[in-house]
Structure 1
Amino acid sequence: MKPDFPHDPATLPETFGERASDRVAAIGGSWGFILAFTLVLFGWMLLNSDVLSHWGLEFDPYPYVFLNLMLSTLAAIQAPIIMMSQNRQAEKDRLAAQNDYDVNLRAEIEIKALHEKIDALAAAQAALIAQLERSR
């Protein structure tokens, strides 16, 4: 039987934007992204510094102003999207912590009730033993 938690993080509805921000954060925070992005940057610089400059066709010569603009735009868009994902994860973590607290509280109440039952049984057993000893 699954416990009925009022705020189960697994059942939170997700909008398209939330799913997208989680995906962007998962991709943007990976070594694969870092390595691929590094290769793209070096490729861009190599292409504009050596390959296309031989024919005078470089579209973004050193100091790579267009590349800087694209990197700044990417950072300006990617940072808030990753922050949205982190905020969502923090909310999920908060709800999971609240659920853990609720479970622990319920377990504590049950354990206390069991202690009371065991104490009552022990007292009844002690009374029965005392009564049997008196009747001897």
Structure 2
Amino acid sequence: MRARREAARLAREHGLVERERERERQEEAAERARARTPVASGASALSRSRARLDVPRPARRRLLPQYDPEAFGRLSEKIARFLGTGRFIVWMTLVIVVWVLWNIFAPDDLRFDEYPFIFLTLMLSLQASYAAPLILLAQNRQDDRDRVTHEQDRKQNERSIADTEYLTREIAALRMGLGEVATRDWIRSEFQDLIKEMDERRLFPAERDEGDR
């Protein structure tokens, strides 16, 4: 009877061990399957990345092209700066003179803009229509820079005025304090009075004693 119970207990333990090993094998197989399975979609990856605050968000793809507005502003300033130089006037004058002379004296089959030079007028109008907004844009950028510079200058002036007022108050306080301190001339005059009084006592001791009585 005792041997049967021992055999039954060993069988139960053996069965438990087998079931535990089987469950571990199933868990390992499931982990390997999850590791081999690719990410289902970009949305699920994004949701998992957002679950952690220490993981940066992935860059979003933008369909529309991006441009730097400062680059366009710098280009407009360069163009406006060139339009305001004497070199532009010289080049413009040369182009117009060559254009007119070519279309007057060149052979008929080589002329491309005969009198009254309609194409030249169109080109000059187009240039003026583009030059005016570019110059205005450059002026607006310069106004913004001037506004920032003036604001910084105003703050610097306010700090300078505050420092000057503080130093003025400190100097006034020092002068008031020195007015209450014994100066060298006052001490010298007091010493002279004491020396004179001591001399008088030494020369006329009897008169001083009677005067004291």
Considering the TM-score relative to the shorter chain, is it more than 0.5?
yes
Partner of 1:106: 159
In 2, Cα distance between equivalents of 1:124 and 1:74: 74
Does residue 140 of structure 2 align to residue 96 of structure 1? Answer: no
Larger radius of gyration: 2
Inter-CA distance 124–21: structure 2 relative to 1 (3 Å threshold): same
Inter-CA distance 78–108: structure 2 relative to 1 (3 Å threshold): same
RMSD of aligned alpha carbons: 2.0
Partner of 1:82: 135
Task: Using the TM superposition, give the Cα deviation of residue 95 of structure 1 relative to its aligned residue in structure 2, in angstroms.
Answer: 1.3
Partner of 1:6: none
User: What letter corresponds to residue 108 of structure 1 in structure 2?
Assistant: I
Partner of 1:117: 170
% identical equivalent positions: 33
Partner of 1:21: 76
In 2, Cα distance between equivalents of 1:102 and 1:14: 29
SS at 1:95 equivalent: helix
Gaps of 5+ in 2: 1-67, 191-213
User: What letter corresponds to residue 140 of structure 2 in structure 1?
Assistant: N
Partner of 1:10: none
In 1, Cα distance between equivalents of 2:91 and 2:70: 29
Does residue 96 of structure 2 align to residue 41 of structure 1? Answer: yes
In 2, Cα distance between equivalents of 1:61 and 1:24: 30
In 2, Cα distance between equivalents of 1:48 and 1:118: 82
In 1, Cα distance between equivalents of 2:143 and 2:90: 28
Task: Using the TM superposition, give the Cα deviation of residue 129 of structure 1 relative to its aligned residue in structure 2, in angstroms.
Answer: 3.0
In 2, Cα distance between equivalents of 1:129 and 1:16: 70
Instruction: Report the number of matched residues.
Output: 120
Residues 41-67 of structure 1, C-alpha deviations (whole Å, 9 max, x = no match) = 11111111112xx24321100110001
Partner of 2:204: none
Instruction: State the TM-score, normalized to the length of structure 1.
Output: 0.81
